[in-house]
């Protein structure tokens, strides 16, 4: 079916654009990603999706994503109807895919490659609302600090959006590949009729499961790499750590291992992190624990706050936009035996016809400075703006 395509003559950027274009022409959905510290890049094409899917080890190979406000154990699943793998610059094309939909896709791919046409990205949802001013964001942070002082909250994440115009010459595939040059992050591009097109990068592992272990990461507190930590960041990190410990204790799991707090440097930013691991197989663990753990973890205090339900209500009441995929999670599922890796979508942009919208948040505690929190969101935005 693909024997007549000489994959080696097409540079990676051109082929990625063509795969996106062929999917758009045939109603397919595409997820492209590169994981942390990995040289392999994957392109998944799905001709259907499964909504309200529960995570289990019995799921077929695919890609999972979920929104910020959706239940943590009910994700959207994209089956790997076609899976392309790049090992460095070498492409491994699918060996299967003889359905009518796959045949239609490869015919469209040949047409795009022969014509030299650029890939066409899905139209994003309706135009975003205007960005928030500094004064308005600071006022919302002040409101959050006041609520925390009253004892209703311990921490809450206040977010804002930032819209940047796109020049006609901007190449979104080049942007994605540019982000892939940062090996400490999971980088993904998702393009579906339901969600539009999103690009994101994240160092924050939400849940990983393989034959040996189940792992999650606590990542909180943000400063410039040339600054020193303060009590505020350590307090923020400990709130996340306490939340994760409590999840496993509530599920009756007492074998959880935890590392000491360490630094994680991402470009100009530094975060505090702690890793948590449960060795498998464990007498205290069953396959049904996947969805139960994911339900508790999402959304994490690092992107939501604590107590979780109180923080969710506060965010819904004061935030002037829908977070959509920002603060959700995404990642590959069971591509090679039991192997699930889901990452929190913390640095991301939504792609529109002539602009992109960045989503930027800051963790607020009792000791937060509203002006400093605005500055923190600006620093986080620079992660993507530097590549733009």
Q: What's the average model confidence in pLDDT over 50-62?
A: 86
Distance CA 68, CA 77 (A): 16
Q: Is 378 left (phi over 0), alpha (psi -120 to 50) or beta?
A: alpha
Sign for the pseudo-dihedral over CA of 282, 308, 230, 135: positive
C-alpha 385/C-alpha 383 separation (Å) is: 6
pLDDT at 25 over 80: yes
Q: What is the pLDDT of residue 1?
A: 57
Q: What's the pLDDT score for residue 207?
A: 94
Q: Which helix (H) or strand (E) holds 217?
A: strand 213-224
Please report the pLDDT score of residue 126 as a whole number.
52
The residues facing 150 across adjacent strands are: none
Q: Where along the chain do its domains lie?
A: 7-111
Please determine, for residue 6, whether its predicted confidence score (pLDDT) is greater than 60. yes
Helices (H), 116-213: 134-149, 172-179
Res 92 pLDDT > 70: yes
**Predicted local distance difference test score (pLDDT) of residue 138:** 97
Per cent of the chain over pLDDT 70 is 93
**Residues in CB range of 91: below 8 A, 6 or more apart:** 7, 8, 12, 15, 84, 85
Window from 136-145, 267-276, 313-322 with minimum mean pLDDT:
267-276
Average pLDDT (26-44) is: 92
Of 7-16, 65-74, 136-145, 300-309, which one has max mean pLDDT? 136-145
The residue among 338 and 355 whose pLDDT is bigger is 355
At 244, the pLDDT band (50, 70, 90 cuts) reads very high
Rounded to an integer, what distance in angstroms lies between the CA atom of residue 117 and that of residue 17? 9
Backbone angles phi, psi at 377, to 5 degrees: -65, -35
Average pLDDT score, the chain:
88
223-240 tens-digit pLDDT: 888 889 998 889 888 989
Q: How confident is the model at residue 302 (pLDDT cuts 50, 70, 90)?
A: confident
pLDDT tens-place string over residues 304-347? 999 999 999 999 999 999 999 999 999 999 987 778 999 999 99
């Amino acid at each position: 079916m693909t024997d007549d395509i000489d994959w080696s003559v097409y540079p990676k950027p051109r082929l990625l654009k063509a795969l996106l274009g062929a999917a758009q022409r045939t109603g397919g959905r595409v997820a492209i990603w590169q994981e942390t510290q990995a040289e392999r890049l994957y392109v998944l094409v799905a001709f259907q999706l499964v909504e309200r899917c529960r995570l289990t080890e019995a799921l077929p190979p695919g890609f999972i994503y979920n929104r910020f406000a959706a239940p943590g154990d009910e994700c959207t699943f994209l089956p790997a109807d076609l899976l392309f793998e790049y090992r460095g610059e070498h492409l491994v094309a699918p060996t299967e895919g003889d359905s009518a939909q796959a045949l239609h896709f490869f015919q469209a791919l040949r047409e795009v490659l022969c014509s030299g046409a650029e890939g066409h990205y899905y139209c994003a949802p309706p135009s975003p609302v205007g960005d928030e001013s500094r004064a308005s964001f600071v006022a919302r942070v002040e409101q959050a600090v006041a609520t925390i002082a009253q004892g209703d909250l311990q921490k809450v994440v206040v977010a804002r959006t930032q819209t940047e115009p796109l020049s006609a010459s901007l190449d979104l595939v080049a942007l994605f590949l540019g982000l892939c040059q940062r090996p400490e992050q999971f980088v993904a591009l998702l393009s579906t009729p339901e969600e539009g097109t999103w690009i994101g990068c994240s160092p924050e592992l939400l849940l990983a499961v393989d034959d040996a272990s189940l792992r999650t990461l606590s990542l909180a507190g943000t400063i410039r790499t040339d600054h020193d930590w303060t009590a505020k960041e350590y307090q923020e990190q400990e709130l996340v750590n306490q939340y994760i410990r409590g999840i496993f204790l509530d599920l009756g799991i007492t074998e959880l291992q935890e590392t000491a707090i360490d630094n994680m440097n991402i470009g100009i930013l530094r975060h505090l992190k702690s890793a948590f691991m449960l060795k498998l197989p464990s007498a205290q663990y069953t396959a049904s624990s996947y969805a139960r753990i994911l339900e508790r973890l999402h959304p994490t205090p690092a992107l939501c706050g604590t107590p979780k339900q109180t923080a969710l209500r506060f965010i819904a009441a004061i935030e002037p936009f829908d977070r959509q995929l920002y603060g959700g999670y995404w990642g590959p599922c069971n591509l090679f035996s039991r192997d699930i890796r889901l990452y929190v979508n913390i640095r991301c942009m939504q792609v529109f016809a002539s602009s992109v919208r960045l989503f930027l948040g800051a963790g607020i505690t009792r000791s937060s400075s509203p002006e400093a929190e605005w500055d923190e969101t600006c620093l986080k935005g620079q992660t993507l703006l530097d590549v733009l």
